[in-house]
Amino acid sequence: MKVYNTLSRKKEDFQPLEEGKVKMYVCGPTVYNFIHIGNARPMIVFDTVRRYMEYKGYEVNYVSNFTDVDDKIIKKAVEEGVSAQEISSRYIEECKKDMADMNVKPATLHPLATQEIDGMLEMISTLIDKGFAYPAKDGTVYFRTRKFEEYGKLSHKNLDDLQAGHREIKVTGEEKEDALDFVLWKPKKEGEPYWESPWCQGRPGWHIECSVMAKKYLGEEIDIHAGGEDLIFPHHENEIAQSEACNGKIFSKYWLHNGFLNIDNKKMSKSLGNFFTVREISEKYDLQVLRFFMLSAHYRSPLNFSAELMEAAKSSLERIVNAAENLKHLKKNAKHEGMTAEEEEIWNGSGAFVEKFEKAMDDDFNTADAIASIFELVKYSNTRVNEETSVELLERLYNRLGQLCDILGIILEKNEEILDEEIENLIEERQAARKERNFARADEIRGILLNKGIVLEDTREGVKWKRA
């Protein structure tokens, strides 16, 4: 299996640190609102990487955090007049709901930054003791970027050419020894959540959080660290500097990054009005369609999102699901149990598509080519089965198709048809829940209907529905 390592800028043979085991850390979202489709791409991509690793027999310890203390969370809390914890807890639950609807498996562990403060204080203290960090007069603690000689090795940036441009709150340059030094700990502002530290009452910088959580739950050395391309610099670069300066070991052997997601060939932004949450997409499409769309291109390629491409993904996915339904239908009415000699040959011939699938996935998780091999298997099956086909062959082909689809997180089971009367009753219950301000139940009902292929549209004339 070959993976493209951002660190070396080339494909490398994958060799885990420990035989048969993979330690993998993926940066999770900052939870201040519903996740957007840009957040969804790494979730789907690296969930698929994990699934393929497990298919290959690896035991994967998959850790993905939630950043639950951040300027955006605090801003949202102030706007709503509630605590930052209330905001983060609310949107962690919403995020988990969206992840489940995208068929993203829960991580082995989803640590929260706020529950790992002691580890952060310990790592910062170690960095100060080793001379890699220093406290300023106001209690801010900075990392001495230039002291870490390999700084820039991930982003391939030259230290002298870099300018200070970080996610942290800007402070006056006089407090820093060097403009490139970045924040490990910062003083609280009025009304902000804070923790006690040897330097001041404050909270951690963004970068230290992931370093500490990866170390605690995976160890000082890990196999894979992954995330969006936008995290390479400064976030992942700073993680490497902190972790390796503190632990004296290589932090992660392989670094995997997914490409950007554009909307109608433009960068997604609220100001352009092309910003979509996963929840908004779920009102128009089953999120299996979103997942299929995300995997239809190589994960390192930039991906363009549009209504036309989503419709194409929907049609393609339906072809696969319909083929599976056909196999199930034929099996239900099949006259013969065991395979004939001719059917043995058909079965053996289908193995070629598994080999193609594995070859694609072994080449840096090329899901686009893997999907192409599934379509070849679909065509092969469709043209070789009929009412005379045995139960055994139909079942084997169905299971083979299902196994490959499961690696990609694609669900083959079609939702059972729901009657118009049941739909109207559920809509009535949803309206009643909304009047009682029980929005959780209202959302749940919308989800139930969507899972059965029913799309709701709230209009001035009332709720309209259609079969997706």
Asked if 95 and 31 touch (Cβ cutoff 8 Å), the reply is: yes
Greatest Cα pair distance in the chain: 84
Cα-based distances in Å from 195 to 4, 114, 379: 39, 9, 60
Task: Please tell us whether the domain made up of 15-258 is placed in CATH 3.40.50.80.
Answer: no
Report d(CA 63, CA 55) in Å as an integer: 18
What one-character-per-residue DSSP string does 129-179 give? HTTSEEE-TTS-EEE-GGGSTTTTTTTT--GGG-----SSPP--GGGSSST
Task: Please tell us whether the domain made up of 307-407 is placed in CATH 1.20.120.640.
Answer: yes
Reference 45, options 365, 263, 412, 426; nearest CA is 365
pLDDT score, position 174: 55
pLDDT score, position 13: 98
pLDDT score, position 171: 45
Helices marked H in 283-306: 287-295
For residue 158, what are the contacts with CB-CB under 8 A and spacing of at least 6? 152
Report d(CA 350, CA 346) in Å as an integer: 6
Q: Model's pTM, two decimal places? A: 0.88
pLDDT score, position 468: 66
pLDDT tens digits in sequence order for the chain, 468 residues long: 999 999 999 999 999 999 999 999 999 999 999 999 999 999 999 999 999 999 999 999 999 999 999 999 999 999 999 999 999 999 999 999 999 999 999 999 999 999 999 999 999 999 999 999 999 999 999 999 999 999 999 999 988 777 544 444 444 445 899 999 999 999 999 989 999 999 999 999 999 999 999 999 999 999 999 999 999 999 999 999 999 999 999 999 999 999 999 998 888 877 777 889 999 999 999 999 999 999 999 999 999 999 999 999 999 999 999 999 999 999 998 989 999 999 999 999 999 999 999 999 999 999 999 999 999 999 999 999 999 999 999 999 999 999 999 999 999 986 666 677 888 888 989 989 888 888 888 888 888 888 777 888 888 778 888 876
For residue 142, what are the contacts with CB-CB under 8 A and spacing of at least 6? 133, 134, 135, 136, 175, 176, 177, 181, 182, 183, 184
Tokens encoding 160: 């002298």
Question: Can you state the percent helix, strand and coil of the chain, rounding each to 5?
Answer: 50, 15, 35
- 3-class SS of residue 3: strand
Strand order in the sheet with 266-267: 266-267, 261-263, 303-305
pLDDT score, position 459: 82
Tokens encoding 314: 């929907």
Report d(CA 229, CA 207) in Å as an integer: 16
pLDDT score, position 166: 41
